[in-house]
Chain A
Amino acid sequence: MNGVHDMGGMHGFGPVLAEKNEPVFHETWEGRVFGMSGQLSRFGGNIDARRFAIEQIRPDRYLRLSYYERWFERALRYCVETGLISARERAAIDSGKAELDNTHVKVDRAPAPVHSDYARPLASTALFAVGERVRAKLINPTTHTRLPRYARGKIGVIIAEHGGHVFPDSNAIGKGEDPQRLYTVCFTARELWGDAANPNDTVSLDLWEPYLERV
């Protein structure tokens, strides 16, 4: 989806400000959200669906929330959607109260281990070869994709092939893993940004076969 999360190439966010001796978590609650999210992933979903959930936070809100606030918003929404908590409990949480809704039926589902290896062997042969020029397709899906806007329609060269990987566009919306061949495609900075870019510079992206077409 053409969300505000797809921010490569945007202007206006100012300089990158690094903090000296930065703690891993700035607030205790950030670590709790991080730890909770890890355990919640055992109740279903996958990394692509979780990314898509963050992307669906309204753009104006996305930009206002901090990183772990976005994670918390996702966790809350997930808990309601999967029935782990009731709407009434969610409302209480919004005002900071842990009030159990005794009418709520407990979800009886055993947490499943989370698999996080995304490589999937493919029987098919590769459509493209290392060294080949390809164009990233001009697409504008309203659902999850990992082809950023700034690369769409641009021509690059395949510099590596990684075999089959889970296809996020499908996996994110419950249509299965649908593994597709993954390539690293190198674009010149001039192809992406025009003649003002340094002619020596490049940007490489990891792109699945369905994102690419012959030139």
Chain B
Amino acid sequence: MAHDHDHDHDHDHQDAPADAALRVKALETILARRGYIDQAEIDRMVDHFQNEVGPRNGAKVVAKAWTDPAYRKRLLDNATAAVAELGFSGRQGEHLIAIENTAKVHNLVVCTLCSCYPVPVLGLPPVWYKSFAYRSRAVIDPRGVLADFGLGIPDDVEVRVWDSTAELRYLVVPERPAGTEKLSEEQLAELVTRDSMIGTARASAPK
């Protein structure tokens, strides 16, 4: 390859690509200098997904469904509209479907082909959701995957796996834990974890 005389030769990996951080920075710099992208907008996107959108949104939806039977019905009938009532909407959430866990049914959501995820209610997916282990096994061995998360499901409970192959995005409504009758909606939302809305956990028990 062409020799770069400005380069400080402190290593012998001339042909190896530079590390990801440098390559990404180089692309970003070129695109920004040409005016194709706005770096401040990237800052805002990163901040938005780090600080504004996340599973707390979904937790509010679930807690409301637990406490308000009319809302629960609207959520199960048309999740996109019911979620929008709480002010949550946006890309990867245009066609939301809520699926409810019961004593007899446990739901688990996966995207085997890529990593589709209900972003407006859960934020960006965790690494494990995008992992090859999860994508490959959730459909063929869902009970084994649940065991990896420490969740044992009795044999007579139906495990329903939802492979998100289209633009429909699934939100699991976990079962409301016992002993939470006196909790407020805000206190209930604290019990609703991200994993409980994917189906790899139950909602937390009250403290």
Contacts A/B (CB < 8 Å), 12 sampled: A17-B128, A18-B126, A24-B124, A34-B46, A36-B42, A84-B31, A85-B27, A96-B26, A98-B27, A116-B94, A201-B159, A205-B165
Output the residue of A12, A24, A47 with the most chain B CB within 10 A.
A24
| Chain A 15-73 residues near chain B, CB threshold 8 A | 15-19, 22-29, 31-36, 38-40, 43, 47, 51, 54, 63, 67-69, 72
List the 3 closest pairs (A to B, CB-CB), nearest first.
Answer: A96-B18, A96-B22, A35-B42
Q: Considering the complex, give the chain B residue whose CB is closest to the CB of A111.
A: B36
- The answer for the CA separation of A106 and B31 in the assembled complex, in Å, is 10
In the bound complex, CA of A54 to CA of B200 (Å): 27
Q: Say whether A75 faces chain B, with CB atoms less than 8 Å apart.
A: yes
Residue among B26, B92, B113, B200 with the most chain A CB within 10 A?
Answer: B113
When distances are taken between beta carbons in the complex, the residues of chain A under 8 Å from B137 are 11, 13, 16
Closest to A117 in B: B94
A200 at the interface (CB under 8 A from B): yes
Q: How distant is the Cα of A94 from the Cα of B1 in the complex, in angstroms?
A: 12
- What residues on B are CB-neighbors of A23 within 8 Å? 50
With a 10 A CB-CB cut-off, give which of A11, A18, A63, A162 has the most chain B CB atoms: A18
Q: Is A146 within 8 A of B127, CB to CB? A: no
Q: Which of B126-164 contact A (CB under 8 A)?
A: 126-128, 130-140, 142-143, 145, 148-149, 155-164
Task: Give the distance to chain A from B194, nearest Cβ to Cβ, in Å.
Answer: 10
Q: What count of chain A residues pass the 8 Å CB interface test?
A: 87
Q: Tell me which of B25, B30, B127, B140 contacts A100 (CB under 8 A).
A: B30
With A18-B126, A206-B164: A85-B159 Cβ-Cβ less than 8 Å: no
Question: Do the beta carbons of B158 and A32 come within 8 Å of each other?
Answer: no
Q: Is the CB of B26 within 8 A of A93?
A: yes
Interface residues of A (CB under 8 A from B): 5-19, 22-29, 31-36, 38-40, 43, 47, 51, 54, 63, 67-69, 72, 75-76, 79, 84-85, 89, 92-98, 100, 106-107, 111, 114, 116-119, 146-148, 150, 162, 165-166, 168, 182, 184, 186, 189, 192-193, 198, 200-208
**Interchain nearest-CB distance for A62 vs B (Å):** 9
In the bound complex, residues from chain B placing their C-beta under 8 Å from that of A84 are 31, 34, 36
Interface status of B69 (Cβ within 8 A of chain A): no
Check: B183 CB closer than 8 A to any chain A CB: no
Query: B127, A8: Cβ atoms under 8 Å?
Result: no
From residue A23, how far is it (CB to closest CB) to chain B in Å?
Answer: 8
B85 at the interface (CB under 8 A from A): no
Q: Tell me which residues across on chain B come within 8 A of A117, comparing CB atoms.
A: 94
Q: Is B114 a contact partner of A31 (Cβ separation < 8 A)?
A: no
C-alpha spacing A26/B128, complex, angstroms? 13
CB pair B21 A27 closer than 8 Å: yes
Among A19, A29, A47, A89, the one with the most B-chain Cβ atoms within 10 Å of its Cβ is A29
B24 part of interface (Cβ distance < 8 Å): yes
Check A7/B124 contact, CB under 8 A, given A84-B36, A148-B113: no
Contact A146 B132 (CB under 8 A): no
Contact B37 A40 (CB under 8 A): yes
Tell me the chain B residues, 182-207 only, with Cβ under 8 Å from chain A. 195, 200
Are A146 and B145 in touch, CB under 8 angstroms? no
A34 vs chain B, min Cβ distance (A): 7
A7→B132 contact, CB < 8 A? yes
Whether B113 contacts A16 by the Cβ 8 Å rule is no
B164 touches A16 (CB 8 A): no
Question: In the assembled complex, which residues on chain B have CB atoms less than 8 Å from the CB atom of A33?
Answer: 24
